[in-house]
Amino acid sequence: MEHRSLREHVRDVADFPTEGVVFRDITPLLGDAAAFAEAVDGLVEQFSGVDVDRVVGVESRGFIFGAAVAYRIGAGFVPVRKPGKLPWAVVREEYQLEYGSDKLEIHRDAIHPGERILIVDDVLATGGTASATATLVETLGGVIAGLGFLLEIEPLAGRAQLGDRPVRSLLQFS
């Protein structure tokens, strides 16, 4: 089910962060208490009945939604960050973005073998960030219970990068 009322709280910003990219700005949604609650509740509903031990939130807007979802479902929260931000031993994964490349890291002890993990982020675009995060989780022995996104930019075909893992998004942009 798409949460169409959330769409009015997403602002398009042309040529950000580089020329030719249309950035979907969710700060208006975050600033509206009812819209933010609907987004968090919607993500929780998408995975109702799915066993989850930990929620992984991807830097940086994934922290906002991931932490709220983890709290709501009674699961632990794990941050996945850009290099140099975590203070202990990490596992690193490099990936491609719509407009370049980047790296992500997770603490080596953040996930234990067999734990069921829900990955949460704000946007599914090309799938590079989500795929890299899933690889980090699986490298540590975690089992992907699902990937949840506030919005998905369908023409960029990010789902194709995620294989047969369960993927849910609240809004689809074409």
Q: Which of the following is catalytic: 81, 93, 98, 168?
A: 98
CA 86/CA 53 separation, integer angstroms: 21
Residue whose tokens read 């080596």: 108
> For this structure, is 165 an active site residue?
no
Burial category of 145 from C-beta neighbours within 10 Å (exposed 0-12, middle 13-18, buried 19 and up): buried
> For this structure, is 168 an active site residue?
no
Contact between 47 and 37 (Cβ < 8 Å): no
Q: CA–CA distance from 123 to each of 34, 73, 113, 157, 168 (Å)?
A: 20, 21, 27, 12, 11
Q: Which of the following is catalytic: 61, 72, 159, 165?
A: 61
Write out the catalytic residue numbers. Answer: 61, 98
